[in-house]
Amino acid sequence: MKWAILSDVHGNLEALQAVLEDLDREGVERTVFLGDAVGYGANPNECLGVLRRRMERMVAGNHDWGAVGRTDISDFNEAAAAAIRWTGRQLFPEHRTFLTELPLTHFEREIFLVHGSPYEPEEWHYIFTPSEAAMGFRALVGALAFVGHSHFPMVLTQDEKNRIRGLRVSEVTLDPERRYIINVGSVGQPRDGDPRAAYGLFDDVSRRYRLKRLPYDWASAQKKILQAGLPPFLARRLSQGV
């Protein structure tokens, strides 16, 4: 079965549409979303409408729960907090209920889905350092997790001696002897220096994983952010991929 794994759309409708068109071209059979539908971008309701139609499974991100008051946002930076307050005011009641009820994790066909880390999902830990990766692997049930949250695509592998490596590769065939935590990057606000929308494709028969990058109309997304009165930095960063 061919999976598409999307994460961190953050209200960026232009990026989401580019990715969804690509899913049709790729002949994807299973669609999952790893959280942060909203926050930062100017189209939270539109993105939620589309995601709810097109994604078969969704888990919650910190911005999703932040926008509906289900998680504390006191550690958000000023731009992120301003965007969350704005988003909270925009959300349609039905989307608000939907976000409030989103689960933190999902486990299906040996694949674990979570926004931040398998370790304490409700604490939204990032996986950047070796010790954060080790915590994630220790908590992981099974041999494969897909994560988002950092907006930084990465393939982490753990061998039979518990040695962990981080690979910045866009294609890899998963070794059945190893465990993996794979960050699929961000659809709507990439931060790895490449402004193109990112998402992951995984074939669970061939065990081939691919990170895809797609250009989209970021000028329109930027213009909408400025028109909405959101912090200008949130517009600027889209064309820089930071």
Residue 36 CB, nearest approach to Zn ion (Å): 4
For Zn ion, the closer of residues 88 and 208 by Cβ is 88
Q: 14's torsion region: left (phi>0), alpha (psi -120 to 50) or beta?
A: alpha
Comparison of 95 and 151: residue with beta carbon closer to Zn ion: 151
Residue that the structure tokens 């689960």 belong to? 103
Q: Are 181 and 219 in contact (CB under 8 A)?
A: no
Residue 64 binds to Zn ion (criterion: CB under 5 A): no
Question: What part of residues 184-213 is at the interface with Zn ion (CB under 5 A)?
Answer: none
Instruction: For residue 117, give the nearest of 174, 183, 175, 51 by alpha carbon.
Output: 183
When the beta carbons of 36 and 192 are compared against Zn ion, the nearer one is: 36
Nearer Cβ to Zn ion (4/36): 36
DSSP readout, 105-140?
EEEETTEEEESS-SSSGGG-----SHHHHHHHHHH-
Give exposure, 112-126, as e/b (b: 16+ Cβ within 10 Å): bbbbbbbbebeebbe
Closest approach of Zn ion to the CB of residue 160, in Å: 33
Of the candidates 8, 14, 64, 192, which one interacts with Zn ion according to CB under 5 A?
Answer: 8
Contact with Zn ion (CB under 5 A) among 18, 33, 34, 36: 36
> Nearest-CB residue to Zn ion?
36
Between 11 and 174, CB nearer to Zn ion: 11
Query: In whole angstroms, how close is the CB of 49 to Zn ion at the nearest point?
Result: 19
Binding segment toward Zn ion, per CB under 5 A, in 13-21, 35-43, 71-79, 84-92: 35-43
CB 114 within 8 A of CB 147: yes
Binding footprint of Zn ion on the chain (CB under 5 A): 8, 36
